[in-house]
Amino acid sequence: MAAARAFARGGYHVTTMQDIAQEAGYTPPSLYAYFTGKEQIFGELAALLSREFVAVFDEPVPAGLSFPDRLELLLRHLFEKSDRYRDAVTAFLVARLSGEPLMTEGMTRGSSHGADFSSVQLLTTWLKKNTKRGELGEHRPEELGVALAGLAHAFCVQWLADGCATSTASLASRVTSQFLYGALGAAPRAKTAGFRAL
């Protein structure tokens, strides 16, 4: 977690073993007794995030919930993990946006999903597994996985940049509403006879 704070503050390339050691209350030589360098620490941090987030997708979905409620519950758990590992997630997002290959290697190494690990893949698989006929309309889970990953990612980045001022429950509700109902932000109203006549 000390390394996560250091990476989140300075970014991967700028952060040194000295920075990590200082944040953790160690000397750099003592860190080298456990890690070969910051690359290994960064990879271990990525593997930790992989395990934590994949575990959310493996949680059983409570019976009897509507699709919007099931989706909102999943997103709430994901945002709670993001809040718990805020510095690590920030370091991860910055690394992903800069195309850092070490992040991808660490994520896939620590994931039971192997090279297929990605938020798009995980969300697509979850949608296939946890939706019933008709709940996705005419859309394919693969398309919706892309849309949901992009929307959740964008909201998460903004939420982290704002200092996580919004609760995870509220954030999950907003993403669910945007994903399901678009710009209107509310469930569509039933069409009236007058509207159909137009």
Averaged pLDDT of the chain:
85
Per DSSP, the three-state class of 15 is: coil
At position 43, the amino acid (one-letter code) is G
In a domain, 56, yes or no: yes
Which CATH number covers residue 163? 1.10.357
Give the range among 44-53, 64-73, 104-113 with minimum mean pLDDT.
104-113
**CA distances (Å), origin 109, targets 8, 48, 95, 97, 140:** 21, 10, 16, 20, 29
> pTM of the prediction?
0.81
In tens, the pLDDT along 111-149 reads 444 434 589 999 999 999 999 989 998 899 999 999 999
User: In this predicted structure, what is the pLDDT of residue 96?
Assistant: 76
In a domain, 8, yes or no: no
In the chain, how many domains are there?
Answer: 1
Domain span including residue 161? 47-189
In a domain, 137, yes or no: yes
User: In this predicted structure, what is the pLDDT of residue 78?
Assistant: 96
In a domain, 99, yes or no: yes
In a domain, 11, yes or no: no
In tens, the pLDDT along 11-31 reads 888 999 999 999 999 999 999
190 DSSP assignment: P
